[in-house]
Amino acid sequence: MNTRRTGTILDEIVAQKMVRLTLQKAKTPIAKLTEEAQSAPAPRDFLHALKEEGKVSLIAEVKKASPVKGILRDSFDPSQLSRAYQRAGASAISVITEQDFFLGSPDYLTQAHEAASLPILRKDFIFDPYQVYESRAIRADALLIIAGILEDSQLADLAALTAECGMTPLVEVHDEEEVGRAVDCDARVVGINNRNLKTMSVDISTTARLLPLLPKETTVVAESGIRSRDDMQLLESLGVDGALVGEAIMRAADVESMIRQLLGEEQRPLAAEQENRRTVEQEITPCSPAVHCSTALLPLVKICGITNLEDARAAVDCGADMLGFVFAPSARCVSPETVARITSALPRGITRVGVFVDAQLERVGEIAQMCNLDLAQLHGSETKDYARRLTIPFVKAFRAQDESVLSRIADFGADTFLLDSYHPDKPGGTGRKLDLTIAARASRLGRMILAGGLNPDNVAEAVIRANPYAVDVSSGVELSPGKKDHGKIRMFITEAKRCARR
């Protein structure tokens, strides 16, 4: 396939990419790749992640090397980096998959997708429809499309195909001419790259120069040269929606601290959580030969059934990773208006989960947008087709009456699922204990969130025996339905983390 020549390093990269693509097509026919793309989990909403009113959303990049700077980080683990990015408050993750000049890999993107629940942008040099299907098959939620290497018809066709596959096309531009071409192909999301590819110099004022040329409704991402909070504030003053940051984060000794500095937020953990961590570090003892104890954040902890801001803030202060809000009939049911007020007061980095039971798709989307939710937890009889049509990532809940639940989990094929105890009349929040033997087998099927009768007294045993990705508690830390016991929340989180796996 012919591409547009740029007279820059892009020509050399694209030429090498064509060689690799020829080999890849021989290895994996497009028919098989298309089938894999169609069977992939529903894409996460990248565009929604960039729409935070009055703020610049941060896209943190997983980037091993660059043609100019060489290796950026010796201790390079895409999974660990992605989890750190999410904890620190990034809105999305970018993964460079180009193999020869940036030392990337498609596997890095899949690893990032499995490690974090944020939308994932694939950054590569895309010029063939095969690469679009490949991107969806490896779990990309958005795809970088570089206007400079494509003819007009290629640009329009690849952007359209990307959208047809459920991903968000991010059209990258470098100058006025490319901005015009992006506008002509009706690009909804445009990335302005501040790097001059002829001189390789970076000037963040490129964003200020090109931004007025784009329609006001365009979602704009600034790329390259963003290194400090001052740079982020400049982008905020310009009205930019997102900032893609790679090198500054990858070179930082503490990537989480760097991200929080860019976002202008005080570094978590809060004072109370710091004291809690010191206690854990001092008193931690081996719990099982099969489990390595540490101060690692796995399993994640979700406090569900939040109904008021006081309890939400207490959970955050104690170190909760996720908060759950119930929108189904329940003693803990809360209105979208109340949840919107709560979530607007929460810091970044806290995953906001809406719990639904057989709700109408449109209603789930409306509530998710109104309440700024990150995940929809499906606790009813929702089907795979229903889940795929959601506009936000989801977690499917399964109730374990017996071992038949294992085949139901496998058949559904969700990346992340919640396993709860069975009650014939209630979908959740019953306080009934779950069979940990079944839970241990279920944990091999994907990222399992363990629920069902957990409390501060038994959560450590559950972590050791079932090896969950996350633990979920509601009634086990309550004074009464819908009202949390803050002391129990702290104890629960301490015990859950005490025997965490690395």
Q: Tell me, letter by letter, the H, E, C secondary structure of 51-73.
A: CCCCCCEEEEEECCEECCCEECC
Any catalytic annotation for residue 420?
yes
Q: Which residue has the tokens 């984060």?
A: 249
Residues 6+ apart with CB under 8 A from 251: 72, 73
Q: Which residue has the tokens 């100058």?
A: 175
Q: How many CA atoms lie within 13 A of 58 on its CB side?
A: 32
Count Cβ neighbours within 10 Å for each residue of 409-418 and write b for 16 or more, e otherwise.
beebebbbbb
Q: Tell me how far apart the alpha carbons of residues 201 and 203 are, in angstroms, rounded to a whole number.
A: 7
Nearest-CA neighbor of 86 among 425, 471, 349?
349
Rg over alpha carbons for the chain, rounded to the nearest Å, is: 23
Angle between helices 9-27 and 129-137 (to 10 degrees): 70
Any catalytic annotation for residue 318?
no
Q: Which residue has the tokens 């169609």?
A: 38
Contact 108, 76 (CB under 8 A): no
- In the set 45, 124, 420, 472, the catalytic residue is 420
At 145, phi and psi to the nearest 5? -125, 115
Neighbours of 15 (CB within 10 A): 12
At 361, phi and psi to the nearest 5? -55, -45
Residues 6+ apart with CB under 8 A from 335: none
Q: Tell me how far apart the alpha carbons of residues 428 and 426 are, in angstroms, rounded to a whole number.
A: 6
Under DSSP, is residue 245 helix (H, G, I), strand (E, B) or coil? strand
Q: Tell me, letter by letter, the H, E, C secondary structure of 248-281.
A: HHHCCCCHHHHHHHHHCCCCCCCHHHHHHHHHHH
- In the set 185, 293, 304, 318, the catalytic residue is 304
Catalytic residue annotation = 304, 420
